[in-house]
Amino acid sequence: MNRRDFIKIAGLSLIAPQLLAQKTDPTINSKTLVLLELKGGNDGLNTVVPYSDEKYYKLRPQLAVRREQVLQLSPELGLNPVMEKFMPIWQEKELAVICGVGYPEPNRSHFRSIEIWETGSDSNDYLQDGWIARLFEESDPGKLLADGIILGNNEGGPLAGLNMRNIFMRNPKQFFQQAKKLKELQAKTNNNALKHLLKVQQDIHTAAQDLEKKVMENSMAGSQFPPSQIGKQLQIAANIITSDTPVAVIKVSHGGFDTHSGQRAKHDRLLQQLSNALHSFRKTLIEKGKWNDTLVMTYSEFGRRAYENGSKGTDHGTAAPHFMMGGKVRGGIYGKQPELTELKKGDLVYHVDYRSMYSTVANKWWNVSNDFSKDYEMINCIKS
């Protein structure tokens, strides 16, 4: 019996919610995945810089990060200097840099490509549900307060799915105040729009009851977060995790990466905000003993074109590096940096299929298998 059937039966016979707990998978339940979306398509070459490659400086006369400024990770690669707060994480070997992540026949449309990343589909395949939603369909994450909590924007993305219990929250305090006013509703309908409304109302009702006490009591956690949007989101995420609230996935998003023009200053600021916020996040979770139960993974619809455009920016591209970090991460460089001499239509050629990251999360982080386990090689960046 998979989760969808179970929920159906549970719904019909009105099984008390406590009974649902029997299906708990303790692994998922206690280990939180923080999905961090870099919205707009992050420029990988200026994030993890191939500083020893002459070609990089030829392709980017205006935009390149100067060789002597990069924070060296290896003789070939280094971080953009604004990401200095990543270095302690790197030195503690808790930062995995996965190079050259992408997929075959890359699509350069923001919307189509992020859909591919969110659903875990092939380039020419269209799937309905997010990859996390499909994973939970097969492997029940158990009795959680919510399957996913989405902070920062209103897009479920990888968590979007009919049976997912997702909570979208901008401001937790306001959320709880308003949620108290909602009654529990039971109604049957064939109207899809109304069905959706009823489900969202039920999700709010269920989550609000428990979450409030825990999160609000714990709201002092990590007062040292930076005031950026991503800082605020990660602070809320830290509150939720350190309050022992069982939530499988927290999605945060960091926007503004579609840097077609005047990239350098904008992009540097975004990377700096990112590294500062993650630094505070890690520090807080270590203090509260939760860092080993937390995995952060970045994703983005695509990287950017290898060569800069005429507007001191970069156009839509393909492969890019991504990060995983957490107490259980085995730090290091994984995958393979795409060769700048082997561009395809001006774009980087991927070496690691993005679904390898998903497969790694499912198998190594949650110890469950997913549709990708067979087809995509796992990345050895998580300690058992």
Binding site for another protein (CB under 8 A): 108-112, 150, 153-156, 166-170, 175, 178-179, 181-183, 185, 187, 191-194, 196-198, 200-201, 203-204, 207, 260-261, 309-311, 313, 315-316, 345
Q: What minimum distance in Å lies between the beta carbon of 61 and another protein?
A: 12
3-class SS of residue 267: helix
Q: How far apart are CA 92 and CA 84, in angstroms?
A: 14
CA distance between the termini of the chain: 28
Q: What minimum distance in Å lies between the beta carbon of 147 and another protein?
A: 12
Name 87's Cβ contacts closer than 8 Å, sequence gap at least 6.
Answer: 71, 79
Nearer to another protein, 15 or 182 (CB): 182
Nearer to another protein, 73 or 250 (CB): 250
Nearer to another protein, 31 or 316 (CB): 316
Nearer to another protein, 12 or 193 (CB): 193
Q: Name residue 355's amino acid.
A: R
Nearer to another protein, 231 or 313 (CB): 313
Q: What minimum distance in Å lies between the beta carbon of 344 and another protein?
A: 11
Q: Which of 383, 256, 325, 292 is nearest to 95 (CA)?
A: 325
Q: What minimum distance in Å lies between the beta carbon of 46 and another protein?
A: 18
- Its sign, for the CA torsion 255, 259, 261, 265, is positive
Q: What minimum distance in Å lies between the beta carbon of 165 and another protein?
A: 10
Q: What minimum distance in Å lies between the beta carbon of 74 and another protein?
A: 33
Residues in the chain: 384
Q: Which of 378, 372, 345, 318 is nearest to 100 (CA)?
A: 318
Strands 332-335 and 95-102: parallel
- Alpha carbon distances (Å) from 68 to 79, 204, 347: 11, 52, 26
Q: What minimum distance in Å lies between the beta carbon of 70 and another protein?
A: 26
Nearer to another protein, 23 or 110 (CB): 110
* Cβ pair 56, 50 in contact under 8 A: yes
Q: How far apart are CA 197 and CA 200, in angstroms?
A: 5
Nearer to another protein, 196 or 383 (CB): 196
